[in-house]
Amino acid sequence: MSFILLGILASSGAAAAAGNLAGYVAGGAPTVTTINKFAFIDDSRSTLAEGISPGRKESAGFYDAQVAGYVAGGDVSGLRNATVNKFTFPSDSRSTLGTGLTNTIVGVVGFSNSGTAGYVAGGADPNKVTRVDKFAFPSDSKSTLGTGLSIARELGAGFSNQNTAGYYAGGLLAPGPSSTVDKFAFPSDSRSTLGTGLSSIRRDTAGFSNNAVAGYVAGGNGPVSTVDKFSFSDDSRTTLGTGLSSDRASPAAFANSEVSGYVAGGSGAVTVDKFAFPSDSRSTLATGLSSGQTACVGFQDAS
């Protein structure tokens, strides 16, 4: 009997922990402070009492699972910003890092090595840059990688294979979009460039991951509904037979690893599409964003 009770308690504790896990969609255009939160246990949406400060679009998101999510840089009513907001899980209370990004910057991209560091890559300050800033967990101390992106660009997509590598895909060069995918190996942060990039040159995309399995790059300028998938075993690319439910540029993305990935908003939409792992079948949440958002950013409390 004692064994059964202990099993029940352990199971209940796991369920409670799972119930705290969620994905977040922050900011966007029109310039807003709003953060929507989607609980993974039932995909229900709430809105955080404290949003990002200041309200901005074209920011980067990264996270330290079950510790905190971050929103970095972005466009504040036409002005570049270097602020990094931190949202502590599970309370979602907001603080602002004492050390922000290296420069005021827009069009940045984030990826994460949860438990170790978060990265903010590329952007325009006002010229497009290759710079990658790194925030070490748990101190949030900032450094800048010796080797940045292979090409200066902004408005790409970031995704991660935790403990293995972070990726920067596509983005805007001068004068047009790119299909290039750069890979930063953890923990050395050494950079390589994939032999196969995106299926088309694209900017204004969003990235999410199924950890240890694959990374995804969704939507983009056009707008388009395309979703490319990169297998982490060999970085080979396929394109999903079913893309987004509508053509959208500048959405946000987040994931509940091993369960599903989400693509939210973009092109002023409230739509949130959900891709079930491992089949990649798509459904659309009954409750979308609280308002139409473009150039918003996602982060998550999950691996």
Could you give all domains of the chain from N- to C-terminal order, each with its CATH number? 22-301 (2.120.10.80)
**Model confidence over 237-270: pLDDT tens digits?**
999 999 999 999 999 999 998 999 999 999 999 9
Measured between alpha carbons, how far is 49 from 39 in angstroms, rounded to an integer?
A: 16
**Model confidence over 190-217: pLDDT tens digits?**
999 999 999 999 999 999 999 999 999 9
**Model confidence over 258-267: pLDDT tens digits?**
999 999 999 9
The pLDDT, as a whole number, for residue 31 is 85
β-strands 117-121, 237-239: how paired? Answer: unpaired
Confidence of residue 272 (pLDDT cuts 50, 70, 90): very high
Which residues, 6+ apart, have CB-to-CB distance to 10 below 8 Å?
none
Mean pLDDT of 95-108: 98
Q: Which of 257, 218, 213 is nearest to 236 (CA)?
A: 213
Q: Which residue matches tokens 């309200």?
A: 55
The pLDDT, as a whole number, for residue 10 is 37
β-strands 60-64, 45-47: how paired? Answer: unpaired
Measured between alpha carbons, how far is 301 from 18 in angstroms, rounded to an integer?
A: 10
Query: Largest Cα–Cα distance of the chain, in whole Å?
Result: 70
pTM across the whole model: 0.93
Count of alpha carbons within 13 angstroms of residue 131, beta-carbon side = 20
The pLDDT, as a whole number, for residue 30 is 82
